[in-house]
């Protein structure tokens, strides 16, 4: 869409535009070259005709026409390559050659006054059309042409010859003068219109290029934003995964929390129901932990909890689950572990806690941090319910507490010969 700046550009901008000036200079060079060749051919033809009409003046015609023809040929040869700075002056010189030729022919050949009238009428008009100049340059050329034409005729002709032709020549010269100015003005207005159109198109093209650059910058900015968004989304996914992991870990010990325990036990129960197998639940509780907090402070209690968590990590097998069940209670889920293996594993964990040597002055007779544990085996024949299994392990734990602490008790399920189907177990619960 054209704006006010591109629809009506300043006319002076065309004179300042180097590319437009170069284009018009080349056009003027072509015009001067064409005019020089046409004028040279015209002078030669006029000379031949004059020699045939007036053989007595043939020598004088040839002597006068020869330098004019040579001048025209020299201009035609010079214009294309060496006349960029003087193309206007050469064009004016080419335009003066026909007047010199016509004036000398008129004075040398009697009876050719009509040729003078035709030259005065046609030459300025043709010059204005084929060699477009600025107003001042064209006006200077017209004055020089008329001065040369009339000067040559007046200098070479008698007053008697001129007395009958002066009025006609003067009228014809004035008419040609006006027609030439009019034709030159039309050419200049046409060029100005072309300048406005070219500058408008160039301004519009410049705005389109700027708009294209803006669009390209916007595309690059959007691409960068998209890349940033992708990075942020990846970071957000990573942070979400970390948050999900952190949400399933106990902040103090780094073991799994109750949320993680519930999810893992649900998967374990589903796997046992589907493909069978055995899993051991080992519920551990630190002995007289409240007294440790009361005598040594909560910081010592937290250190004891972290120490027990480290012991459980070092003692557990790869794949077993470790969880902080709550307060000073810990739960170990041992996969592929029957009741006999569960007893050995539970005793190993209890012994490892005591062997860690963490002080507990108010836990006689050991005066160390110890743990009591209750265990429960899960299988297809005794997997009544996860909550019931945890309750059974908790009951076994309190039995171990009642029997003196720092020991393991295993809760026995149904008798080995009695196999209760899963659906009946759930119905019974």
* pLDDT value, residue 329: 95
Q: In the beta sheet, which residues pair with residue 335? A: 279
Q: pTM score, two decimals? A: 0.48
Q: What average pLDDT does the structure give for the chain?
A: 80
* pLDDT value, residue 428: 39
Confidence of residue 310 (pLDDT cuts 50, 70, 90): very high
**Contact status, residue 292 vs residue 301, Cβ threshold 8 Å:** yes
- Which candidate in 328, 339, 377, 409 is catalytic? 328
**Contact status, residue 105 vs residue 46, Cβ threshold 8 Å:** yes
Query: Distance between CA 34 and CA 10 in Å, rounded?
Result: 32
The closest of 141, 62, 133, 129 to 95, measured between CA atoms, is 141
Q: CA distances (Å), 78 to each of 6, 33, 98, 189, 379, in order?
A: 38, 9, 19, 29, 113
Of the chain, the end-to-end C-alpha distance in Å amounts to: 82
Mean local confidence (pLDDT), 301-307: 94
Query: Distance between CA 177 and CA 156 in Å, rounded?
Result: 23
For residue 2, pLDDT over 70 is answered with: no
pLDDT of 72-103, one tens digit each?
888 888 877 655 677 778 877 877 777 777 77
Q: Is 27 a catalytic residue?
A: no
Confidence of residue 1 (pLDDT cuts 50, 70, 90): very low
Sign for the pseudo-dihedral over CA of 49, 51, 55, 60: positive
Mean local confidence (pLDDT), 131-141: 78
Mean local confidence (pLDDT), 282-293: 94
Mean local confidence (pLDDT), 418-429: 40
pLDDT of 145-177, one tens digit each?
777 777 766 765 554 345 556 677 777 777 777
Query: Distance between CA 357 and CA 368 in Å, rounded?
Result: 6
Helix and strand totals (H; E) in the chain: 14, 5
**Backbone phi and psi for residue 87, each to the nearest 5 degrees, phi listed first:** -65, -35
Residue 81: HSE in the Cβ half-sphere, 13 Å Cα cutoff? 3
Mean local confidence (pLDDT), 241-259: 87
β pairing state of 329-335 and 371-378 = unpaired
Mean local confidence (pLDDT), 45-60: 80
The closest of 191, 108, 184, 190 to 145, measured between CA atoms, is 184
* pLDDT value, residue 121: 59
Candidate CATH numbers 3.30.70.270, 3.30.1510.10, 3.20.20.140, 3.60.15.10; the one for domain 258-428? 3.30.70.270
**Domain boundaries of the chain, sorted by first residue:** 4-211, 258-428
Query: Distance between CA 171 and CA 153 in Å, rounded?
Result: 16
Which tokens is 8 given?
């009506």
* pLDDT value, residue 257: 92
């Amino acid at each position: 869409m054209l704006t006010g700046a591109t629809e009506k550009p300043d006319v002076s901008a065309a004179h300042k535009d180097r590319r437009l000036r170069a284009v018009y200079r080349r056009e003027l060079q072509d015009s001067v070259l064409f005019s020089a060749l046409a004028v040279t051919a015209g002078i030669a033809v006029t000379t031949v005709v004059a020699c045939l009409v007036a053989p007595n003046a043939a020598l004088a015609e040839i002597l006068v026409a020869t330098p004019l023809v040579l001048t025209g040929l020299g201009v035609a040869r010079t214009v294309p390559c060496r006349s960029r700075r003087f193309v206007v002056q050469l064009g004016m010189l080419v335009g003066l050659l026909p007047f010199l030729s016509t004036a000398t022919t008129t004075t040398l050949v009697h009876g050719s006054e009509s040729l003078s009238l035709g030259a005065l009428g046609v030459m300025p008009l043709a010059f204005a059309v084929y060699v477009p100049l600025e107003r001042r340059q064209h006006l200077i050329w017209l004055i020089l042409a008329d001065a040369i034409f009339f000067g040559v005729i007046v200098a070479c002709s008698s007053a008697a010859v001129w007395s009958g032709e002066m009025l006609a020549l003067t009228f014809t010269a004035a008419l040609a003068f006006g027609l030439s100015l009019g034709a030159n003005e039309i050419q200049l207005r046409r060029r100005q219109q072309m300048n406005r159109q070219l500058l408008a198109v160039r301004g519009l093209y410049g705005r389109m290029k700027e708009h294209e650059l803006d669009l390209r910058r916007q595309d690059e900015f959007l691409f960068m934003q998209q890349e940033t968004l992708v990075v942020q989304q990846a970071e957000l996914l990573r942070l979400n995964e970390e948050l999900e992991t952190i949400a399933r870990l106990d902040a103090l010990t780094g073991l799994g929390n109750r949320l993680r325990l519930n999810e893992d036990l649900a998967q374990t129960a589903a796997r046992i129901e589907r493909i069978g197998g055995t899993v051991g639940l080992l519920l551990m509780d630190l002995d007289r932990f409240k007294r440790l907090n009361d005598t040594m402070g909560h910081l010592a209690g937290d250190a004891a909890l972290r120490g027990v968590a480290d012991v459980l990590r070092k003692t557990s097998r790869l794949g077993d689950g470790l969880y902080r069940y709550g307060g000073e209670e810990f739960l170990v889920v041992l996969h592929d572990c029957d009741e006999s293996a569960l007893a050995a594993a539970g005793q190993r964990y209890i012994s490892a806690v005591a062997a860690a040597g963490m002080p507990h002055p108010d836990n006689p007779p050991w005066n160390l941090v110890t743990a009591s544990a209750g265990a429960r085996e899960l299988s297809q024949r005794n997997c009544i319910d996860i909550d019931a299994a945890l309750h059974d392990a908790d009951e076994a734990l309190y039995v171990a507490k009642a029997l003196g602490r720092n020991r393991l008790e295993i809760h026995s399920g149904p008798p080995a010969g009695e196999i209760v189907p899963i659906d009946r177990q759930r119905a019974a619960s």
